[in-house]
Structure 1
Amino acid sequence: MFGGFTANSGGDFGERMLNTVASQSIRHLFTESESVEVVIRCHPSSKLLQGSIDNFRMEGRNVVIRRDFQVEEMSFETDAVSIDFSSVLSGNIRLRQPTQAVAQVTLTEAGINHAFTAELVRKHQENLTNPELIQLSGGEPVSFTDVNVQLLPDNRLMIFAKAALPNGTVPISLSATLDVERRRKLLFQNPQFEPEVVPEELRGVSEVLTKAFAEILNGMVDLDRFDLDGVMMRINRLETKGKQLIFSGYAQIERFPKASKIS
């Protein structure tokens, strides 16, 4: 269910109505939310009748996208925006042209690990037929399960998982550095097999499995698969900070979602 949801209460009737409509629209981008705040400013308010808005800002906390992707904090803020004011009267917001916004998204280590249990992610980890994996498994598909990520300083992380083979499971462990490709694809650079947590008799096969899993990870996380309705996110930089992974970039807003749409 949706948690505390607020909108700026200042301004005249037109501005308050616009805040309300924007709040209802943004709310339906998320499956759940602890709090979402939408603030739209327009001064003087008479500009609103011409569809001119000075600034639009959204801040969300503990929101869930597509039921499984937990975001601790998300915000984006635009400069001037042009809208069709008549659309507000019908309970929606229609942009006259797409607009860009500065964006920031904060994920937690726990949220990242939960995402690895989502169906959209699991299907990239199960019943794999990579030639190296098939050779190890005697011709049977291989699946990776129980993925656990630990965030480290300097954009590094550790990843632990299990590879399910026909004759049992093999633990795998790797370290890597996070990077971004084309502002949308998350890369796990310079993956290194970390043998300390793997039994000595399994290290040979575990190292091969770890290399294969690193290649799978690099093809898995593409922001275009997680776009919100009408909002395309792009990353300029990322940073690990304690148990948080912080993305800074921009959002290309093509349209506002309709208030009746549920994600």
Structure 2
Amino acid sequence: MPEEHRLDEQIVSQVAQSRLSEELDGAEKIDVDVQTDLLKMFQGQADGVSVAGRGLVMRGIRVQDIKLQTDSVAINPLSVLFGQIELNQPVNTSARVVLTEVDINHALTSEFVRSKMPNFELNVDGEIVGLQPQEIQIHLIDGGKMAFTGKVLLTEKGKARTVGFTAQVCPRTEHKPIMLESFNCTQGEGISLEVVVALMQKVKELVNLPYFEFDDVVLRVKKMEVQKSSMTLLVDARVTQIPATEGNF
């Protein structure tokens, strides 16, 4: 009966919402809707899961708004009894995520994000030149563009020095990749043209990747919509496993 089916969904959704809230460092609002029934639940199945949240915080990263929908989910029902959720099959997810400029810049200083920042090794005329990000700030400006300011540690011919820079880019759309409009050095002795060319080639390779992989999650950014002080991302993700959390038995 529809009423009973909806009651099943409400019970499971409340449990899932409570569980997700425990994983977060904070949340202004969160709603979880699990599309399932008791029989499917005991079989470790759900037709899908939707999440809508505002002000979610995890690992020092704050999301202003998020709307997420998965396809069918298959989990090991026994794993739930031991405080851990194990996926029997990967889960495909689509999401709309809104980030503010303030929250992005705060995230860029977090230990988690800094640990994920790549250190570039550039081949410049047969010699390896290293670039390590030191400080980065993003500015979401009028005209749907992004500007960056920051410092990198440049290691060239065994010597390291700090170089400040500014850059401006046009974000990814459904039809165009990220486009670099300008790049300028603001501190230090600057960067040689050969290093700039090698860096631009490396950046081009990265932004043209079909997806990005972080631990057990594969992400693909379909579209970036930039407004002054905020950015909206349309993202597809494939989750192969849900990380174990502290306190699990």
TM-score class, shorter: 0.5 to 0.7
Of 90, 96, 107, the residue aligned with 1:104 is: 96
- TM-superposition CA deviations, 1:180-214 (whole Å, max 9, x none): 79xxxxx642342247xx48x95x64877766665
- AA paired with 1:146? E
Name 2:67's counterpart in structure 1. 75
User: What secondary structure, in the 3-state scheme, does the structure 2 residue paired with 1:179 have?
Assistant: coil
CA RMSD of aligned residues (A): 4.6
Mapped to 1, the partners of 2:129 and 2:84 lie a distance apart of: 52
Name 1:21's counterpart in structure 2. 15
Higher relative contact order (CA 8 A, sep 6+): 1
Contact 1:172–1:209, Cα closer than 8 Å, also in 2? no
Contact 2:84–2:244, Cα closer than 8 Å, also in 1? yes
Mapped to 2, the partners of 1:69 and 1:17 lie a distance apart of: 29
Q: Does 1:147 align with 2:136?
A: yes
Rate the CA distance shift 1:210–1:93 in 2: closer, same or farther, 3 A: same
Deviation at 1:53, TM superposition (A): 5.2
Rate the CA distance shift 1:193–1:88 in 2: closer, same or farther, 3 A: closer
- AA paired with 2:150? A
Contact 2:216–2:240, Cα closer than 8 Å, also in 1? no
User: What secondary structure, in the 3-state scheme, does the structure 1 residue paired with 2:164 have?
Assistant: strand
Deviation at 1:100, TM superposition (A): 3.5
Rate the CA distance shift 1:216–1:161 in 2: closer, same or farther, 3 A: farther
Matches within 5 A, 1:152-231: 152-153=141-142, 155-164=144-153, 169-179=162-172, 188-194=178-184, 198=186, 205=191, 214=200, 219=206, 223-225=212-214
Name 1:116's counterpart in structure 2. 108
Mapped to 1, the partners of 2:74 and 2:118 lie a distance apart of: 43
Contact 2:122–2:195, Cα closer than 8 Å, also in 1? no
Of 220, 244, 253, the residue aligned with 2:230 is: 244
User: What secondary structure, in the 3-state scheme, does the structure 2 residue paired with 1:33 have?
Assistant: coil
- TM-superposition CA deviations, 1:200-230 (whole Å, max 9, x none): x95x6487776666556554896412655xx
Mapped to 2, the partners of 1:141 and 1:134 lie a distance apart of: 13
Gap regions ≥5 residues in structure 2: none
Contact 2:173–2:225, Cα closer than 8 Å, also in 1? no
Deviation at 1:253, TM superposition (A): 5.0
Matched positions, count: 231
Rate the CA distance shift 1:122–1:83 in 2: closer, same or farther, 3 A: closer
The alignment's TM-score, normalised by the length of structure 1, stands at: 0.61
Deviates more, 1:240-249 or 1:214-223: 214-223
Identity of aligned residues (%): 21
Deviation at 1:246, TM superposition (A): 1.0
The alignment's TM-score, normalised by the length of structure 2, stands at: 0.64
- AA paired with 1:244? S
- TM-superposition CA deviations, 1:42-96 (whole Å, max 9, x none): 5xxxx5324575653211222234x2433222221246x4657966984777777
Rate the CA distance shift 1:143–1:250 in 2: closer, same or farther, 3 A: closer
Deviation at 1:157, TM superposition (A): 1.3
Mapped to 2, the partners of 1:225 and 1:89 lie a distance apart of: 24
Deviation at 1:121, TM superposition (A): 4.8
Mapped to 2, the partners of 1:99 and 1:167 lie a distance apart of: 44
